Structure 1
Amino acid sequence: MSSTPPVPPVVEGGPAGSAPGGSQSGHAEHKFEKWQMKKIPTMWSRTWAHRGKISFGLFLAYSGVNIYYARKQQVIRDTIPQNTILHWRITDGSIVETDTDKGYFQKILRATGGDSPSPVSSLIDVITTIKRAKDDPRIVGIMANFSTANNKTQQTKTLGLAQIQELRSAIQEFKEAKAKALGGEDKVSLIAYTDSFDNQTQYYLASAFDKVYMQPSGSIPLVGLSSTVPFFKTLLGRFGIQVRAEARREYKSMVSPFTETELPPPQKQNLFDLLKGLNSQILADIAKSRQRALGSDPVEKLNHLIQVGPFMGSEAKDEGLVDGLLYKRDCGKLVESNGAFGLAHYMRVTAKEHTNKLAKTGEPSLVVGIVYLIGGIKRGGGDFGANTVVKGIREAANDPTVDAVVLRIDSGGGDVVASDTIGDAIRWCQDEKKKPVVVSFGNTSASGGYFVSTHAKAIIAQPTTITGSIGVASLRPYFTPEFFKLIGVSVEQFFTGSSDTSLLHDLEGAALTRYKRQIDATYSDFIKRVADGRKMTIEQVENVAGGRVMNGKEALKAGLVDKLGGLSYAVRLAGDYGLEVHKNAGHLSSDMEIENIVVKVFPTPKPYLQQIVESMVGDEAVDMYVRDKIHSMIMRVWTGDMMGLLHEVGLSESSFQNAPVSERILDTLDTELNPDNSDIPDTVEVDEFDEIVSGVESVKSLEHDCDIRALCIVGYTRRKSQSNNCCMRGVEDRRLRMLFEQM
C-alpha cells in the first residue's frame, strides 16, 4: 500500500515553501535598512555638531565623579580613629618660630630638597596642637621620630633651649592629662626614636618622652654646654687695622674679640656662670624625666656622664640614657595595634574642627595678634626689619577684632635707632589704641631685644632664655696708612667740616671725648627706660645692668621679667589683659570669662606673586618691579579708579565733595602736606604718609565710619591733580602697593 507525502500548507499570494509572515519580515528588514542609510548619518552629523557640548558634559560628569571620590577619600583620611597614636617627625628646621617661607616658590624648593621632607610648622601651632591632643579622647599617645635630624637638604636651624623647654612642658601636660583620663601612666604611649642624636639639645627634647629608643649604631653627644670666642686683635693689627671700641659697662663683651686677646675677668666669669646655669637646668630636666632609668641620684650621675661623653648605643643603654636599641621597623611594632595619624595632618584637621565648632556654637573668643622680631634688630624692611615689625604692631592695633598683642622676640640685639622705633610702636599701641602688649622672650632677648620690651604690659621668659645685657657697645675701625701701603693703594681725603666719621682718621682729643659722651648718653637713656618701664630705681637697674647676661630665672629674681613661661602662656596672658580692658570699659560684665583664644599673625602675608618675586630678586627689586608693573597701568586705571575707591569707602562723588568731614580731611591734608603754604610735594614717603594719616585720624567723624587711609589717598591725589595735574605720582608707593595686593 503506497502513501503520498503531506503537502506543506501554502499561504495564498506567497511563494511556495515560504513560512507564514515571511513577506512582512522581509519588508521590515528592507525598511530598516533604508532607515539606517537615511537616519544614522543624520544623527552622527547632529552629534558631531554638538560635540563640544557633549564633551563638556562628559568632562563635567568625569570631574564630578573624581571630585566626589576625592572628597570621600579626604573624609576617610581626615577621620581620626579611636586609640590613635600621633606620629611626629622632628627634624632640624621642622619647628620654627614663624614660617616665613610660605610662598609657592619656597614650597617647590622645599618639596624637591630631599626625600619625604618634614612639614614646617610654627612653634605656636605645634604647642596648640599638643594641647588639643591632650583633651582629645581619640588620642592615646605620641611617637616622635628624630631620625635624620640634621638633614642638610632642609632648613638646618636647630631648636633653642627655650623652645625645647616649652615643647617639654606641653608633652608633660599631655602625659599628665592622658594618665588621668586613661587611668594610669602605663596606658599612655610616649615614645621617641632616632637613628642617632646629632646634638645634645635633640636628646634634651627626646628625654621628655617615657621611652627613648635608638639604633644600635647611634650615639648621644651628652657633653654639657660650651662656648668658643675667637679674638681678632692680632690679625687686624697685621693688616694695619685698629679698632676704637667703647662699651658700657664691664660685662658688655661684644667689643672684646676685636680689642682683646682674651676676655676680661668680669666677662669671663659672666659667660661661665651663664653656661653653668643653663647646663644645670638641662640636667635637672633630664634627671626628672629619666629618674627611673638613671637611678637614685640622677642629677649627680648626669654631672658625671657629661664629663665622659659622648656615648655609643650600648653605653647609652647601660647608663640609662635610652630604654632600648631598636631599628625603626622594630620600634613601629610597639604601636602597631594602635591607629596612626601624622601630627602635621592632625594639626590641620583639628584646626578646622575647632573653627567649625566656634562657628556652630557661637562661643565668644578673644583675638590675640602675634608680631615676630627674629634675628638682629635693624632698620628698614625685610622679614623682621624695624619697619616690618612696626607695620605688624600697627596692623594689629588698628584691627578692630584684635583684643591684645604679643610681641615674640628672639634677638641678641642690634641697632639702637631701630630698637627705639619698635619700642615707640609698643607704647603707641598701648597708650593710643588701648591694646595691651605682652612681650614673649624666645631663646634670646638681650641688649636691643630688652630695650624694645621695657614698656610692655608684661614680659614673659623661659628659665633658659638668655636675656639682660643692658648696656651699650660701639665699634669703630681705623684703617691706618700701613693698611693702604700693604694693599698698594694711596688715598687722599678732603673735608669742609669734621672728619669724625672718616674711617681713615683715628679719634683723638675733643673728637674722642664726643664719641665717649655719645656712648654714655645712650647708656644712660637705656638705664632710664628700664627704670621707667619696670618701675625700678636707677640704682636697682644699675645693679643688674652693665652689660651682664643672665638666664630667665635670674632675670625674674632681678625684676627684669614678670613671669616664666612660653609663647602659649604669653598669648593666654595677653588675652586675659584684653578681656580686662573690655570689662573696665564696660563692654563686658565683670564676671564674664572667655576661654577660647584665636591667634592672628601680623603683618598680614604678602600676595603669593610678590612672595615668589621676592624669593628670587629680593625686597628692593620687588619694590621696583611693583612700580614698573603698575606704572604702565596708571593711565588706564586712573579714570575708573577714583570713583571705585570712593565707593570702596562708602562715599559717592557728590558726598565726597560736599560732606563736612571730607572737607575737614582735605583741609587737614593741606596743613600736613604743606604747612608753609608751599607747593604740595610730588612724592610722599610711606613713613611720612603714615604720619599724615595719624594726623588726619583726629578729624574722623563717628558718623562717617570709613577708611581714613583711603580717604587720604583720594584727597591727596585730588589736591595734587588740582594743583598741577599730577595724577597719581605722589601716592605711588602706598597706592600702587594697594593696587598690587588687589590683583
Structure 2
Amino acid sequence: MKFLRNLLASIFGTLIALGIIFMLFVFIASIVTESEKVGVRKYSVLEIRLDSNIKDFAPKSDDPFENLLGFSDNKIGLNEIINAIENAKTDPNIEGISINVLGIRGGIAQTQAIRNKLEEFKESGKFIKAYADFYDQKSYYLSSVADSIFINPFGRVDFKGLSSEVLYYKDIEDKTGVKMEVIRHGKYKSAVEPYLYNEMSDNNREQITAFLKSLWNEMLVDMSKSRNKSIDELNNIADNLSARNANLAVENNIVDGKLYKDEYDNKLKIALGFSTDELLHTITLEDYISTGKGRLKASASNNIAVIYAQGAILYGKGDENYIGQDLIINALRKASKSNNVKAIVLRVNSPGGSALTSELIWRELELTRKKLPIVVSMGNVAASGGYYIACNANRIFAEPTTITGSIGVFGTIPNISKLAGKIGVNAEQVSTNKGANYSVFEPMTDEFRAVTTEGVEQVYNTFLERVAKGRGMLVENVDSIAQGRVWSGVEALKNGLVDELGSLGDAVSYAAELADITDYKVRNYPSYKKDLEDRFNSFSLVKSKEKIFKEELGEANYKIYKTISEISKLEGIQARLPFIMDIK
C-alpha cells in the first residue's frame, strides 16, 4: 500500500512539474512575443526583401512554441503582402518603398501579382526605389517597377529570357534495372515522359516553348512600360546578355546607376527630405505585417469566403502544404453553412495529383454551388487535378502568367524485375483467383496493363466530361485542347479554359457582384489548427525537416530529394504536372 502511495505521489509530482514547465514556456513565449512587437515610425521606408517562402495563404500558427523553438518554416502569405502594400498607400508614416530582393522564393504569377500591386502603390505619389548587389531575372522583373533601380558597381543583371530544364531517367533505368511502368492518356502529358525516353519529345518541346514564350512576353510588356524600352530592345539585351555587368546594365538602361549600399541609403534619405547624416528609418515587410497591416480593416457583416487550395493533391486530410479532400470539403461546408458568407472564391495553386481526391473535391464544389456562387482564382499553377477542381466554377480568373490546363491523366508503377534478375532474386506468387495481379519483381503482364489502361481511360473521359459541363463546351472540343497540354493564363483565355485575366482581388470583386453585395469583408479558409497528436509530433525536431534537409543537402540537391519524395507518395491514377517544372 505504501508503494502504491509513493508511486501515485511520484506520478502526481511529475505531472505538477510538467505543468510548471509548460506554464514557464508559455510565459517565456509571451515575453518574447511582447518584446518583438514593433511600431511604424514617422518618415519610414517600407523595405521589401521577399526572402521567405511565399505561399498564397500562410496564417501564423496558434502554437506559441513553434516560433519560439524554430519549428515553423520561414514563410509569408501573398495575401498579407498585397494587403500590406495596400495599407502602405495611405499610411501617413510610410513615405515610400525600397525593394531589396536578391531572390524571390515564389512563382512568376505571385511575383506579377506583387508587381501589379506596387504599380498601384505608385498612384499614391509615394516613391519606390530598388537596390541589389545583383539581380536574377525574377528579382529584376519585380524591381523594374521602381522609379529608379540601382546596382552594386561589381554586380550583374541576369537578363537572358526564360528557360526550363527537364531531367530524363531512361538510361539510368536501363542500367540499374529499376524502372517505372507508365500508362497515360494525353500526348502532351509530360509528367511521365522522363521514364519513357532519353530526350524531350517534339510535343513536350512544343508546349514548353509556347508557354515560356507567353510568360516571357507578359514580363516584357511590364518591363517595357516601366523602363521605357521597346520589347525588341529588351529581347536584344537578353539575346546578347547586355546586362551581364553593372557597366553594361547602366549603358543599356536596365538600371539607373551603380551605387554601394551606403550610397543608396543616402538616396533614400534625400528622397525623404533628410540630410545624409540623419538616421534612416526602415521597417521590413514582415515587421509591418506584424503590426496588423497584413489585414484590411472592414466592419461589414457580409463575407466573401476565400478558400485556399495550395500544394499537390493527395488523398487524405490535407494541410498547409498539400491539398487533401478532408480539409477542403470541410472548409466548403463550413463556409456554405455560415449565414454571413454570401459567395466563395476558391484560390487554386496546385500542379494536381490524385484523381480520386480531385473528384471528391469537385463533387463537393458542385453541391456547394447550389447554395452559393463560386469563383476560381488561379495562382502560379492550376493544372491537371488543379484544373479539375476549378472547372465547374461560375467564373474562372487566371493571372496572365498562370500555368494551367494539363487535362490528362497517368498511372506509374515501379518495377524492379530486371534488377531482381541481375542480383538473383526470384519471386513466386500464389493466388486464389485469376484476376490480374501485379508484383514489382515480375514484368507487367498484358492483362494487368489492360486493366490499368482501362482505369486511366475512364478517369480521362470523366475529366473531359467535367470540363465540358463546367465550361459549356463539347467533349470533343475539350479533348482537342486537352491531351495533357499546358497553357499559360493568356493562352487559356483564348481557348476557353478560363474566363478572365485578373488577380485574386478581381475574383473577390466579381464574387461580390454575383452575390449582389457591395459592402463585405474577406474571410480566409481553411483553418490549419493542429490536433494534440500533431503538436507533439512537431517536438521531434527543433528545426523543421525542410530547414535541416536544405542545410545538409543544399538548395539544388534538396529539389531532387523533394521530387523523389513526391514520387513515393503517389497512389492511384494521377492528374498532375511534371514533377520538376523549374522556370528560370
Aligned AA (1:308): N
Cα offset for 1:85? 4.6
Return the alpha-carbon distance in structure 2 between the equivalents of residues 112 and 267 of structure 1: 38
Identity of paired residues, percent? 31
Instruction: Name the SS for the 1:311 alignment partner.
Output: coil
Q: Is the 8 A contact 1:105 1:615 kept in 2?
A: no
Question: Cα deviations across residues 153-192 of structure 1 (Å, max 9, x unaligned)?
Answer: xxxx7121111111111111111x224xxxxxxxx31101
Q: Does 1:131 align with 2:100?
A: no
Question: Cα deviations across residues 331-384 of structure 1 (Å, max 9, x unaligned)?
Answer: 1222325384524444454649964xx55xxxx353122222222110112413
Q: Does 1:303 align with 2:227?
A: no
Instruction: Name the SS for the 2:165 alignment partner.
Output: coil
Return the alpha-carbon distance in structure 2 between the equivalents of residues 577 and 614 of structure 1: 43
Cα offset for 1:312? 1.8
CA gap 1:439/1:244 in 2 versus in 1, 3 angstroms? same
Return the alpha-carbon distance in structure 1 between the equivalents of residues 295 and 540 of structure 2: 39
Q: Which residue of 1 aligns with 2:579?
A: none
Return the alpha-carbon distance in structure 1 between the equivalents of residues 361 and 81 of structure 2: 28
The structure, 1 or 2, with the larger RCO (C-alpha pairs under 8 Å, 6+ apart) is 2
Cα offset for 1:609? 6.5
CA gap 1:323/1:614 in 2 versus in 1, 3 angstroms? farther
Aligned AA (1:606): K
Q: Is the 8 A contact 1:251 1:546 kept in 2?
A: yes
CA gap 1:299/1:314 in 2 versus in 1, 3 angstroms? same
Return the alpha-carbon distance in structure 1 between the equivalents of residues 295 and 287 of structure 2: 12
Q: How does 1:621-700 map to 2 (within 5 A)?
A: none
Instruction: Name the SS for the 1:392 alignment partner.
Output: helix
Q: Is the 8 A contact 2:81 2:294 kept in 1?
A: no
Larger Rg: 1
Q: How does 1:34-73 map to 2 (within 5 A)?
A: none
Aligned AA (1:333): N
Instruction: Name the SS for the 2:115 alignment partner.
Output: helix
Q: How does 1:18-33 map to 2 (within 5 A)?
A: none
Q: How does 1:137-148 map to 2 (within 5 A)?
A: 139-146=94-101
Return the alpha-carbon distance in structure 2 between the equivalents of residues 381 and 503 of structure 1: 28
Q: Which residue of 2 aligns with 1:602?
A: 525
Cα offset for 1:275? 1.4
Q: Which residue of 2 aligns with 1:161?
A: 108
Unaligned runs of 5+ in 2: 1-30, 273-279, 542-584
Q: Which residue of 1 aligns with 2:146?
A: 209
CA gap 1:94/1:87 in 2 versus in 1, 3 angstroms? farther
- Of 124, 140, 149 in structure 2, the residue corresponding to residue 178 of structure 1 is 124
Q: Does 1:523 align with 2:477?
A: no
Q: Does 1:265 align with 2:225?
A: no
Cα offset for 1:610? 6.3
Q: Is the 8 A contact 2:83 2:296 kept in 1?
A: no
Return the alpha-carbon distance in structure 1 between the equivalents of residues 455 and 442 of structure 2: 18
Aligned AA (2:258): L
- Of 181, 185, 190 in structure 2, the residue corresponding to residue 244 of structure 1 is 181
Q: Which residue of 2 aligns with 1:420?
A: 359
Aligned AA (2:86): K
Q: Is the 8 A contact 2:184 2:453 kept in 1?
A: no
Return the alpha-carbon distance in structure 2 between the equivalents of residues 86 and 598 of structure 1: 28
Question: Cα deviations across residues 363-412 of structure 1 (Å, max 9, x unaligned)?
Answer: x3531222222221101124132222222222222233322222221111
CA gap 1:473/1:242 in 2 versus in 1, 3 angstroms? same
Cα offset for 1:528? 0.6
Q: How does 1:277-426 map to 2 (within 5 A)?
A: 277-291=214-228, 294=229, 298-309=230-241, 311-336=244-269, 338=272, 340=281, 342=283, 343-349=285-291, 351=293, 355=297, 358=298, 364-383=300-319, 384=322, 385-426=324-365
Q: Is the 8 A contact 2:309 2:347 kept in 1?
A: yes
Aligned AA (2:64): Y
Q: Which residue of 2 aligns with 1:626?
A: none
CA gap 1:193/1:111 in 2 versus in 1, 3 angstroms? farther
Aligned AA (1:87): L
Return the alpha-carbon distance in structure 2 between the equivalents of residues 408 and 370 of structure 1: 7
Return the alpha-carbon distance in structure 2 between the equivalents of residues 230 and 286 of structure 1: 31
Q: Is the 8 A contact 1:104 1:612 kept in 2?
A: no
Return the alpha-carbon distance in structure 2 between the equivalents of residues 539 and 352 of structure 1: 45
Question: Cα deviations across residues 670-695 of structure 1 (Å, max 9, x unaligned)?
Answer: xxxxxxxxxxxxxxxxxxxxxxxxxx
Q: Is the 8 A contact 1:124 1:568 kept in 2?
A: no
Q: Is the 8 A contact 2:54 2:75 kept in 1?
A: yes
Q: Is the 8 A contact 2:183 2:412 kept in 1?
A: yes
Return the alpha-carbon distance in structure 1 between the equivalents of residues 352 and 531 of structure 2: 31
Q: Is the 8 A contact 1:145 1:192 kept in 2?
A: yes
CA gap 1:352/1:522 in 2 versus in 1, 3 angstroms? closer
CA gap 1:594/1:234 in 2 versus in 1, 3 angstroms? same
Question: Cα deviations across residues 566-625 of structure 1 (Å, max 9, x unaligned)?
Answer: 2222222223323x2xxxxxxxxxxxx524x4222222242696664343359xxxxxxx
CA gap 1:528/1:503 in 2 versus in 1, 3 angstroms? same
Question: Cα deviations across residues 3-47 of structure 1 (Å, max 9, x unaligned)?
Answer: xxxxxxxxxxxxxxxxxxxxxxxxxxxxxxxxxxxxxxxxxxxxx
More strand by share: 2
Aligned AA (1:300): D
Q: Is the 8 A contact 1:366 1:575 kept in 2?
A: no
Return the alpha-carbon distance in structure 1 between the equivalents of residues 177 and 488 of structure 2: 39
Return the alpha-carbon distance in structure 1 between the equivalents of residues 445 and 219 of structure 2: 48
For these two proteins, the number of residue pairs brought into alignment is: 494
Instruction: Name the SS for the 1:86 alignment partner.
Output: strand
Instruction: Name the SS for the 1:218 alignment partner.
Output: coil
Q: Which residue of 1 aligns with 2:64?
A: 104
Question: Cα deviations across residues 226-256 of structure 1 (Å, max 9, x unaligned)?
Answer: 1112211121122234443222221111121
Question: Cα deviations across residues 705-733 of structure 1 (Å, max 9, x unaligned)?
Answer: xxxxxxxxxxxxxxxxxxxxxxxxxxxxx
CA gap 1:379/1:352 in 2 versus in 1, 3 angstroms? closer
Return the alpha-carbon distance in structure 2 between the equivalents of residues 221 and 165 of structure 1: 18
Tell me the TM-score normalised to structure 2 length: 0.78
- Of 190, 197, 207 in structure 1, the residue corresponding to residue 128 of structure 2 is 190
Q: Which residue of 2 aligns with 1:717?
A: none
Return the alpha-carbon distance in structure 2 between the equivalents of residues 516 and 111 of structure 1: 43
Cα offset for 1:130? 1.7
Q: Does 1:553 align with 2:490?
A: yes
Return the alpha-carbon distance in structure 2 between the equivalents of residues 352 and 554 of structure 1: 33
More helix by share: 1
Instruction: Name the SS for the 1:616 alignment partner.
Output: helix
Q: How does 1:495-514 map to 2 (within 5 A)?
A: 495-497=431-433, 498-514=435-451
CA gap 1:423/1:288 in 2 versus in 1, 3 angstroms? same
Cα RMSD of the aligned pairs, angstroms, is: 2.9
Q: Is the 8 A contact 2:87 2:293 kept in 1?
A: no
Return the alpha-carbon distance in structure 2 between the equivalents of residues 447 and 459 of structure 1: 15
Q: Which residue of 2 aligns with 1:64?
A: none
Cα offset for 1:137? 5.5
Cα offset for 1:139? 4.2
